[in-house]
Structure 1
């Protein structure tokens, strides 16, 4: 406990109040959601699941961009349904407060924006399964470099 003037010990806020977990349907992101759900349950925190729908930028053919948007919406609906079914089947065993958010755009930017808007205390993501992220940097590495929240990367 600090005795510096103007600094007080903060009571009642140990542990996260809101955990943001990014998901994209990959195996590692689903493991990240399971880990975040367990953490939220143990900490009595709210779990905010964020799916970022990719946007096809610079597409000359509007129909392709429309198909990409429709595909992203279908994935979001499928993920929401799968998580709702799982949460419903476990509601009597584990009581977890959770929300599902769908955003569109760059996954890193949108996940960071969601964590900021939702006042996240922690962010949980799955380890990248893409080879190109070893060169350009994964979403997890970029979130860590941003340095605004503790970031847990689940393999």
Structure 2
């Protein structure tokens, strides 16, 4: 094993310091966030919940207020997460942050994981049938091999 391979995931600590969970509002992404929250609690890590706001050039070209819509989705997701964190704070507490990035889901999560110096990435399994043929964000993240990736059904 080369020096570079042996230090690829190591950041000088025992266990992860930052766990990124990708959310898009789907049931599987919310389960992934809950799973990542449990990991973060047990590892005393920061849970970075990431929503990637899609850039829909076609909609913007037609005058559709795409940014406003995706901002509303991000605010709604952040509100749901705050409410869930408030409900469980007496049982356990997790340090968490909510981040939004713009772009396609794969590149947005890669940018988030890089910027936040993620030690692990947790995503939900795709709920779209076409992804079995084309490939899902989860599969692409696993194939990238840059972080340990957990895919939650």
What is the TM-score of this pair, normalised by structure 2?
0.88
Correspondence for 2:26 = 26
- Higher Cα Rg: structure 1 or 2? 1
**Do structure 1's residue 38 and structure 2's residue 38 form an aligned pair?**
yes
Aligned length: 145
Deviations along 1:129-150, whole A, 9 cap, x unmatched? 0122112210000001111000
Q: Could you tell me how far apart the structure 2 residues matched to 1:21 and 1:73 are?
A: 18
Give 5+ residue unaligned stretches, structure 2: 1-5
For 1:71-105, what per-residue CA distance to the aligned partner results, in whole angstroms no more than 9, with x for missing partners?
Answer: 21111111100101111222222121100001111
Inter-partner Cα distance in structure 1 for 2:35 and 2:60: 40
- The aligned counterpart of 1:76 is 74
TM-score by length of 1: 0.87
Aligned to 1:152: 150
Q: Could you tell me how far apart the structure 1 residues matched to 2:75 and 2:21 are? A: 17
Corresponding residue number in structure 2 for 1:98: 96
Match of 1:113 among 111, 114, 126: 111
The SS at the match of 2:147 is coil
What residue in structure 1 maps to residue 141 of structure 2? 143
CA distance in 1, matches of 2:111, 2:100: 12
The SS at the match of 2:63 is: helix
Q: CA shift at 1:26, angstroms?
A: 0.2
CA distance in 2, matches of 1:116, 1:95: 25
Superposition RMSD in Å: 1.9
How has the CA–CA distance of structure 1 residues 96 and 147 changed in structure 2, closer, same or farther, with 3 Å as cutoff?
A: same
| Matches of 1:79 and 1:52, distance apart in 2 | 11
Whole-angstrom distance in 2 between the partners of 1:114 and 1:61 = 27
